[in-house]
Amino acid sequence: MVSNSELKRYQKKGEYSYAFGMFPTMEMLENRPDCAEKALLHSSVPEEGKERLCKLCAGKGIPVYENDRLVEKLREKENCFVIGVVRKYACELERTASHVVLVNPGDSGNLGTVIRTCVGFGIQNLALVEPAVDIFHPKTIRASMGALFRLNFHYYPSFQEYREEYGAGRDMYPFMLQGSVKLDGLEPMARPFSLIFGNEAAGLDNSFLEVGQSVRIAHSDGIDSLNLSLAAGIGIYHFTKGKF
Amino acid sequence: MVSNSELKRYQKKGEYSYAFGMFPTMEMLENRPDCAEKALLHSSVPEEGKERLCKLCAGKGIPVYENDRLVEKLREKENCFVIGVVRKYACELERTASHVVLVNPGDSGNLGTVIRTCVGFGIQNLALVEPAVDIFHPKTIRASMGALFRLNFHYYPSFQEYREEYGAGRDMYPFMLQGSVKLDGLEPMARPFSLIFGNEAAGLDNSFLEVGQSVRIAHSDGIDSLNLSLAAGIGIYHFTKGKF
């Protein structure tokens, strides 16, 4: 286990990341106890939260340290009093499950929001096509509210490699401004599906018009496009509604 | 008109706000030319963008200044090379149009994202119940990508005052975790509607169960709630789909 003195502010190349805040830390402890190294507390954490956290850690055999200086060194915002230290891990996607595929996502906050929405609507497999932001960045974990710990993710060097591995037996839906059918006219099929979304600025390039059934979320010409996390949220909602 | 030397970094109490970036500035010029004071350029702006902007300003009789020091003083991010200076204005909501109502929104970015989604799906009237973030904060304008300039907004001291003014002849839908019907089972009626969303952290309190038809966006228990801008986006999409 990493010692407290070895812990540094987050680094992409480091072995560890951080869940900032009580709720994301609880999510880490509940859903990835095997990778949860420890929990760090600041003396300002409310007594009730502290008790719940300590009880959960005790049940899982995960150590808790109260160490104001360390929390103050690692945290990114002053109002963070609980930090979960997580060892980075790798996952594989489930072959028969539905996926969300993000091609070149560039914003950590958007990625976290998409993860939270995926988990909220029962999509537990996320493919990321490189270049893509670091899924273990604390901003992503925070924006996901710890939902990252409930999902399988995997990075692919290209969309082609994802498609070769998972393309058979599933329906692919690239979301594009020039998509050939409107989302609200689309009846999801019983097969597993992959919902594919492009980069915040560039969207998906025209080559995706040849991938499965391209879809557009029709909107007024008052905006040039929807925000990525919104488009993904609306797409995921449409494809999973009635399930909950 | 305000002189360049009087312009300060954004202040809530000030008379002016700023659209940071080319696209939001163009939106200001196109949609609120009456309140557009001037455009400020940095010498690093690409030539093509500069030409388009200058042409638009000339057509509207709005001055443009190239002034690196001023842009550098006002901007919040280093990669901003165009600033639209806008005089703050007040609006009234349209009585017979559909509205979105945000009760105590606390995050400027979320507010901007909701505005962009509203405009994207043809909702051009937004009520804000106080306490609420400042709609003219440059972060809101930026997150809206300038869609703020295409929408009417109005602040109300309480939901009750909004309801007294606009409640007649419309259907009200408060979105709540404990809402009594699921969104996907709801068929929007022909009357104008108000979609009501609560604060990021607290949602709407139970008193809203008595307001119109409460709605929930059903999701898995893997998350405690959806992000506000996601919930609003999905709600607005559902109520307006088929319109575009």
Q: Which residues of B touch A186 (CB under 8 A)?
A: none
Nearest CA among A115, A160, A157, A117 for reference residue A136? A115
Confidence band for B190, pLDDT divided at 50, 70 and 90: confident
- Is B229 part of the contact surface with chain A (CB cutoff 8 Å)? yes
B242 φψ region: left (φ > 0), alpha (ψ -120 to 50), beta (else): left
- Is A8 part of the contact surface with chain B (CB cutoff 8 Å)? no
Nearest-by-CA chain A residue for B112: A227
Read off the pLDDT of residues B78-102 as tens digits, 9 standing for 90 and up: 999 999 999 999 999 999 999 999 9
Range in B146-155, B156-165, B183-192 with the lowest mean pLDDT = B183-192
| Phi, psi (degrees; rounded to nearest 5) at B238 | -60, -40
| Phi, psi (degrees; rounded to nearest 5) at B114 | -65, -40
Tokens representing B3 are: 């002189």
Cβ contact B113–A218 (<8 Å) = no
Q: What is the mean predicted confidence (pLDDT) over B60-79? A: 96
Answer yes or no: is pLDDT of B187 > 90: no
Nearest-by-CA chain B residue for A113: B227
Return the pLDDT at A189: 78
Cβ contact A226–B145 (<8 Å) = no
- Asked whether the beta carbons of A183 and A145 are under 8 A apart, the reply is no
Return the pLDDT at A13: 96
Nearest-by-CA chain B residue for A242: B184
Alpha-carbon distances, residue A203 vs A117, A154, A231, B67 (angstroms): 19, 20, 11, 33
Q: Which residues have CB under 8 Å from A4's CB, separation 6+?
A: A40, A65, A67, A70
Return the pLDDT at B188: 76
Nearest CA among B217, B146, B129 for reference residue B178? B217
Q: What is the mean predicted confidence (pLDDT) over B144-157? A: 98
Q: Which residues of B touch A230 (CB under 8 A)?
A: 113, 116-117, 229-230, 233
Interface test with A, best of B98, B107, B118, B121 (most A CBs within 10 A): B121
Q: What is the mean predicted confidence (pLDDT) over B230-236? A: 97
Return the pLDDT at B160: 98
Alpha-carbon distances, residue B68 vs B27, B43, B45 (angstroms): 22, 6, 10
Cβ contact B227–A117 (<8 Å) = yes
- Mean pLDDT estimate for chain B: 96
DSSP A60-121: HT--EEE-HHHHHHH-SSTT--EEEEEE-------TTS-EEEEES---HHHHHHHHHHHHHT
Cβ contact A227–B116 (<8 Å) = yes
Cβ contact A226–B116 (<8 Å) = yes
Confidence band for B242, pLDDT divided at 50, 70 and 90: confident
Return the pLDDT at A242: 84
Return the pLDDT at B161: 98
Kindly report the nearest CA distance between residue B236 and chain A, in angstroms. 10
- Is A187 part of the contact surface with chain B (CB cutoff 8 Å)? no
Return the pLDDT at A188: 76
- Asked whether the beta carbons of A235 and A218 are under 8 A apart, the reply is no
Return the pLDDT at A89: 98
ipTM of the complex: 0.93
Q: Which residues on adjacent β-strands are paired with residue B105?
A: none
DSSP E strand stretches across B78-213: 82-87, 99-103, 125-129, 152-156, 171-174, 181-182, 193-197
Kindly report the nearest CA distance between residue B39 and chain A, in angstroms. 21
Read off the pLDDT of residues B21-59 as tens digits, 9 standing for 90 and up: 999 999 999 999 999 999 999 999 999 999 999 999 999
**Average pLDDT per 10 consecutive residues for chain A, totaling 244 residues:** 93 97 97 98 94 96 97 95 98 97 97 97 98 98 97 98 95 97 89 96 96 97 94 97 88
Q: Which residues of B touch A242 (CB under 8 A)?
A: 184
Answer yes or no: is pLDDT of B177 > 90: yes
Read off the pLDDT of residues B195-228 as tens digits, 9 standing for 90 and up: 999 999 999 999 999 999 999 999 999 999 999 9
Q: Which of B122, B218, B241 sits opposite A220 (nearest CB)?
A: B122
